[in-house]
Structures are given as C-alpha cells and as structure tokens.
Chains A and B, each alone.
Chain A
Amino acid sequence: MMTALDSGLRPTPPRPVPPVLEVRNLEVTYYTDLGRAKALDDVSFTLHAGEKLGMVGESGSGKSTLALAMMRMIKPPGRIEGGAVIVGGEDLQALDEDGMRHARLSRIAYIPQGAMNSLNPVTRIGAQMVDAIRAHSPRESRSAVEDRCRAALRSVDLSPDVFRMYAHELSGGMKQRVCIAIGILLSPAVIIADEPTSALDVITQRQVMETIDKVKDEINAAVILIGHDMGLMAQFVDKVGVMYAGRLVEISPVRAMFKTPLHPYSEALISSLPNLDNKGVFQGIPGLAPSLLRLPSGCAFHPRCQRAKAECSAVRPAVRTLESGRVVTCHLVDREP
C-alpha cells in the first residue's frame, strides 16, 4: 500500500542513472577457535548518489561487519570470502592493496563513532586532516591542503580554529563533527557512518545527523548510516535495511517500512519502539539473538518468529525483490502488502 507521497518523492522503478554503489553477494567468515562464524551472508543492495540508507539490527547482526567489509578492513581471523563492492563502476574488492588504500576516503569514506576515541590524542586536529589529504595527493601545496581542511571544518559548522586544537579540547559532538569533516575531505562517492550518534546526548545527536545531511547534499554522496536507533533513523534516511544474523532480511523505503514492515523481524523491531499507542512501554523481541557459530536451520529467525511454518525451519528463504522495489527474505511474504 504505497501512498502517493511515497511514490512521488521516491520513484523506485530503475532510474536512467546507474547506482553509485552496488554491493553484490558480500560474504565474510570469522574463523574462531570454536568454529566458523558467517558474519555476513550473501548481502546485496544498491544505492544511488544522494540516497541515504539506514542499516539496523541487533548487535552481532553484521551491520558493522558490512561496513568493515566494504572498506576491506576485515582483520584476521575474519576473511572476506567473496562478493563485490562496486563504487562508480569499479569493484573495490578487485583492487590491489595500494589501490584500495587510495580508494579509502577518496571514493568510499568511513566515519567512526568519533565521540569516543577516534582522534589521535597527541597530535593536533589539523595534522590529522592534513595527513589524510597528503596520503592521497602528496603533491598538493601546504596552503591548499590547509584551506581544504578549514573549508571542511566550516561545512560541519566548526570554527576553523579547531584546526589547531587537540581532541581533548573538544566536546563529544565536536569530535564527531571533526570525524565527519575528515570523511568529506576528498568528496567521496559513498560515506559510511558507523553509529555516528551513539554516546551523544539527544540534541547533539540531532545536530550531528543534520550535519551529515548537509554535507551529503554538498558533495552528492550516497550515505549508509549504521545504527540501532530506529527512531532516529526514521527521521533521516530514505531507505532502511534490516539485518539479522549476518543476512539482509529486508530493504524498504522508510515510510513503507514503518507503515507495513514485510519481514516479521522488521515488524518486531518496529513494534518494540516506544510510540503513542504503547505509551513508552518497552516491548522487547522475544528470544535471544542467535550465535553465529550455530545458526538455526532454514530461516535464521524462525525460532523467534511467531508466524513460523514448517517450511521456515527446513528451507532457507530466497531473496525476493517485489514489484515496488522492496526487497525481502521471508517465506511468508511473496507479494506486495
């Protein structure tokens, strides 16, 4: 049941322009002493320039692994087993080490939880911005580099004086803005923000999200926001992706997702949000997140699913793209709601 507003704002049928980001069948496995854990299982999606995708899921659902895999920053004992991350027509997974190093920040940027400890405590903010540019264009003149850094600081609403300051002199929100400023230094086509608002107070959270919105428009980047705060997401993203046990179980436009979630897990996530109906009474999702080492057979969600059928525990559901463009992985859903 798509509303006119929805379809008017976001026509989902394929656009004439190709997507700026295409993730195809990405797979990551962790080889631990206790066995193999598939942290990312056959994840695919596309994103256009200027679009914002929110990735949600419980901790351990693979959303951060997805970010790291896209940056090719999975550390042993983890390994990227296969798949492609195509940015602007080129597969990043196929690049050599040095090529990938150059692609980081200049084509695909990662913004960490800056409020905590993401800035080097012993060097000035400026030095940490300058070295980022220098790593990609070593011949640019010192003054040009500094001008770019100050411009980036201005565009996240920070004073250019921050350039000469140290991390401990900044508040949590300011540190997060510095991280965003670093992320946009080289105008990347894709920006991944990993829980950019955790550990910030509510007002600062909003400001940071607005900043991300603003800089995204300036450089027309595709943005992936990773987080577990569905409420905050709802206000800022175009599409929401839901992950469960390393699998992408649903991608839908944000309004459709909240109005008619397709996957039972999405539904559970949304109904666990406090709203006017349940008056803030928290309703958790029954059951525990499964261990990646011993995934349930069939659909990984079936032990917690209240509508599970016999098929659900036996056969793994296929990824289905509906006519409206919504993507869902569930035996119970085979058509538009």
Chain B
Amino acid sequence: MTIAQPAVPVDLAQPGPVSLILRYLRRNKSLAIGLAILFVLIAFTLIGMLLVDPKGAYPLAAATKKPPSLKYPFGTDFFGRNLLVAMVVGMWQTALIGLIAGGLGTLIGVVLGFVSAYFGGWIDTIIKGVCQILTPIPVLLIQVVVAGSLDKRDVTILTMALIVVMLAWMGPTLVVRSQVLTMKERQFVSVAKLSGVSDLGIIFKEILPNLLPFIAAAFVGQVFAAVFASFYLAVLGLGPLREPLLGNIIWSAQGQGAFFNGWWWWPIAPSIAMILILGSLALINMGLDELANPRVRRTE
C-alpha cells in the first residue's frame, strides 16, 4: 500500500531550446558574460576584416606616433601602424592561433587519452609517464627554446600555433584518460562489451558521446592556454615580428620605451584587447566548470 500522491499537473508549455538556454544563462552569469564579451570581440574582428585594409596594420602605413583621434581611433605607433587596423588583424591572428592550437591540442589529447585509458597496459604506462615527466617542466620556457631556434623568417602564425601545441597536449590527455577510465567501469560499457560490440564501436557509440562535455571544456581550456602561451612568446619578442600580433605590439612598445616617451596609447590598446580575449575565455571556462560540477554553485 503506498500513499496515493496527486500527480502534479504539468501545465507549463514546453519552452523551446533557445529560451531554455537563455534561462540557463541567466543563472550561470560567468558563462553569459564570457559569451557576451566573446561575441562582441568576434563581431569587432569580422566587421573590421570586412571594412579595413589590412595593410594599415603593417609599418609605414600611417603617420607615426599619433595619439588617438577621429582619424586614428586607437592612435598610431612609432613604426607608423594604424593601431585600430592592427587590433583587427591582431585579433584575427590570435583567433587563428587559438583555434588551430586549441583544436590540435584537444584532438591529440582526446586520441592519446582514449588510447591510454582504453587499452591500458604498456601504452598507458608510457603515455602517462611522459605526461607526468613533462608536467613539472615550465612549458613556456621550452617553447622559448623552440621559437628561439627557428629562423626568424620561419616564425609565422602557423608555426606559432604548432610550437604552442607541441607541449600543451598533456592536460587534455590526462583529463580524457581519467574520464574514460571511470566510464569504462560503468554498466553500459560492460553491457556493450558483453553483447559483442567492437572496441571502436564502444569508443564511438558509447564513450565518446558521454565525454563531449569534458571535451568541450578541455577545448576552451586549450584555446585559452594557446592564446596565453603565444601571447607570452610574442611579449618576449619570439613572435613573428612583422605581424601585428597583440603580444608583438606590446613587446615593441616596451622596447621603444612607450611610456617614457609619452606614447601611452601604444601598449594600452593591445593590452585591453588581450584582457578582453583572455577574460572572456576564462569566464566561459568557469561557466563550463559550473555546468559540469554543480557543487561550486552552492556558495553563490
């Protein structure tokens, strides 16, 4: 005999996916703000790429050392770059590095993590061991060695991305590995195995779909790390020096003593752009964490 509980009538109309997402974003503020900033940045870059002539981002394209004005909203630098155009091109290039390096890093991480966790044995020992040994080594410094060893002419946006990826796949590898390990123990995988589904079938049909949220979070984290690393390399003067990459502009401004000489706008424009990029990615990352790990929410 159980208590007859009156069924609660569901009289609410089922909300559409868009309004569901909006409703969720209202609760998850960091995700909402991060996405909003990112959206503005993307709009700025895309509209800018359509409207401006990218030539303005390179030396001798404009008058030198002009403070912000109507003609040059962000001013111009010592080498005669129009900083507004430089921002547009710089952000475009930053996005390229972030997406290429973030995508490749995540891909390598997912594959290695899968292989390591799913097959185990000596493969797992090797992959895990390499990750553990590389973890205490400050990645940026090794990237400095790599970037420094390249011929200056070989340093392009693409090589920057590749340098960044080279030592940045360990994080996603370890994350995916531990997730697959726990998932392997779950019921549905054993059931699939018993019913004779092949290894690849299990990976693609059973495990991968359940991993997607973690892969998404790892991807955003990788993009953040890649933008960060390429920025640091550029600030150290190891970037493609001709390109208006945001870090390069700050590096050359510091090299020319911009503040000592009163050209304050020169390092400020790329700094703010970079802060917005990294800030929005960090907020999105935090928001995704909250999505995956609801316990953090309790203190809000």
Contacts and interface: CB of A to CB of B under 8 A. Distances in A.
Interface residues of A, number: 9
12 contacts: A287-B1, A287-B2, A288-B2, A288-B3, A291-B5, A294-B5, A296-B3, A303-B1, A303-B3, A303-B4, A304-B1, A304-B3
A286 B1 CA distance: 6
Contacts of A303: 1-4
Contacts, number: 16
Closest 9 CB pairs of A and B: A303-B3, A286-B1, A287-B1, A287-B2, A288-B2, A287-B3, A290-B3, A288-B3, A294-B5
Interface string B1-23: 11111000000000000000000
Nearest to A294: B5
Interface in B1-56: 1-5
B5 to A, nearest CB: 6
Contacts of A287: 1-3
Nearest to B5: A294
Contacts of A290: 3
Interface of A is mostly: loop
Given A287-B1, A303-B1, A303-B4, 13 more contacts: A286-B1, A287-B2, A287-B3, A288-B2, A288-B3, A290-B3, A291-B5, A294-B5, A296-B3, A303-B2, A303-B3, A304-B1, A304-B3
Contacts of B4: 303
A290 B3 CA distance: 8
Interface string A294-320: 101000000110000000000000000
B293 to A, nearest CB: 20
A288 B1 CA distance: 8
A303 B5 CA distance: 10
A288 B4 CA distance: 10
Nearest to A296: B3
Contacts of A294: 5
Nearest to A286: B1
Interface in A266-296: 286-288, 290-291, 294, 296
Contacts of B5: 291, 294
Contacts of A288: 2-3
